[in-house]
Structure 1
Amino acid sequence: MQSQNPIIADLVKIANSAAGTMAGMTREARESARERLREAMGGIDFVSREEFDTVKAMAQKAREQADALEAKVAALEAKLSKK
């Protein structure tokens, strides 16, 4: 049901415009904050999850190899001490 009163129609238009303006301002503020955060974080080096997992796997493999070599050295030392 539409109002025949032009004052009410104008008030509705103003309210709709204000709501649209507020939504636009909110969107603009959010984008501005994101941009500032990107600039602030720009100097920090982050690694991707894939790179992290790759390096973690490499470290695990190196640890396993070091443990194996340690066991071999201990076995050789024990063998030499028997002689």
Structure 2
Amino acid sequence: MTSPSSRFFDELAKVMTNAAGAAQGARREVDNLVKAQIERVLADIQIVQREEFDVVRDMASMARTENEALRARIAELETRLEAIESKPAPAAKKKAAAKSSTAKK
């Protein structure tokens, strides 16, 4: 047979274990409520979440890279256009222009 003091301590241990479990459950519940409230407040003041910010930052970086490539391509095309425009007109074009001006007379 167990002694009454031993039985008392066994019951006390069970109560403490149950109380600790209940306290942990209450803590989780409070954490969830606080987190939900913070998310609601942040949504109301329209602060973006980190994931959304990272996506937009990556999109901006890709757009910046694409803009730099397009800027280089435009500069190359402008250089080629200037080179073409600075060359003298070929003789065939001059003859065609002369024929059309004589036909108008």
* Fold equivalence (TM over 0.5): yes
Runs (5+) with no aligned partner, structure 1:
none
What letter is aligned with 1:39?
R
Q: Deviations 1:6-41 (Å, cap 9, x if unpaired)? A: 321221122112111211122112212221221132
Runs (5+) with no aligned partner, structure 2:
89-105
- TM-superposed CA distance for 1:80, in Å, is 4.6
> How does the TM-score come out when normalised to structure 2?
0.53
Q: Identity over aligned residues, as a percent?
A: 19
What letter is aligned with 2:47?
I
Give the stretch that moved more between structures: 51-60 or 19-28.
Answer: 51-60
Q: Deviations 1:43-79 (Å, cap 9, x if unpaired)? A: 2235275665455434423331221012221343355
> How does the TM-score come out when normalised to structure 1?
0.63
Cα RMSD for the two superposed structures: 3.1
> Counterpart in 2 of 1:77?
82
SS of residue matched to 2:48: coil
SS of residue matched to 1:62: helix
Structure 2 vs 1, CA of residues 4 and 71 (structure 1 numbering), >3 Å: closer, same or farther? farther
Distance in 1 (alpha carbons) for counterparts of 2:53 and 2:40 = 19
